[in-house]
């Protein structure tokens, strides 16, 4: 029952994020290239999360537990990699922003753009790491 509830909540979250992106895309009049890029990264992360939920659904249908020691270890390791990427991407975004604004004369990133890059990179690394580690250990 607990596994079924987690699966249903996972699909609801994926559907809510996709619905929110659709509403945003329909009501945003001119979408700039940077926004398209961020929407594409969010879609990649959501598709990765949907793949994880789908894998857990297949495991539940087979009668296997959706969460065991191997999957917890995989999630912890992928979370560690995502944490490291979050730290270094925050430093890297700052360095790149300084280089672009001072050396190349470009425009500075806003705080929300820098935060978005850090969150999206760490989320992407978590999804890729989880799927790769899960495939490698199974």
DSSP 75-136: HHHHHHHHHHHHHHHHHHHHHHHHIIIIIS--PPPPHHHHHHHHHHHHHHHHHHHHHHHHHH
The confidence score (pLDDT) of residue 37 equals 74
Answering whether pTM is above 0.95, one says: no
The confidence score (pLDDT) of residue 56 equals 82
Note the pLDDT tens digit of each residue in 28-64.
Answer: 778 777 777 778 878 888 888 888 888 888 888 888 7
**Residues of the chain scoring pLDDT < 50:** none
Residue 127 · residue 79 · CB < 8 Å: no
The confidence score (pLDDT) of residue 114 equals 83
The confidence score (pLDDT) of residue 70 equals 84
Radius of gyration (C-alpha) of the chain in whole angstroms: 18
The confidence score (pLDDT) of residue 125 equals 93
Instruction: Return the domain boundaries, the chain.
Output: 1-67, 68-138
34 HSE (CA, 13 A, CB side):
7
The confidence score (pLDDT) of residue 138 equals 67
Between CA 67 and CA 73 the distance in angstroms is 10
Kindly report the number of other CB atoms within 10 A of residue 108's CB atom.
12
The confidence score (pLDDT) of residue 86 equals 95
């Amino acid at each position: 029952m607990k596994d079924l509830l987690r699966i249903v909540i996972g699909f609801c979250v994926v559907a809510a994020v996709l619905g929110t992106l659709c509403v945003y895309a329909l009501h945003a009049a001119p979408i700039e290239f940077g926004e398209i890029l961020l929407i594409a990264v969010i879609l990649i992360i959501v598709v990765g999360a949907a793949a994880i939920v789908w894998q857990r659904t297949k495991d539940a249908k087979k009668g296997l537990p959706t969460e065991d020691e191997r999957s917890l270890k995989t999630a912890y390791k992928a979370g560690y990699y995502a944490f490291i990427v979050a730290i270094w991407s925050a430093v890297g975004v700052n360095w790149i922003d300084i280089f672009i604004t001072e050396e190349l004369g470009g425009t500075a990133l806003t705080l929300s753009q820098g935060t978005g890059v850090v969150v999206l990179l760490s989320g992407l690394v978590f999804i890729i790491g989880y799927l790769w580690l899960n495939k490698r250990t199974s």
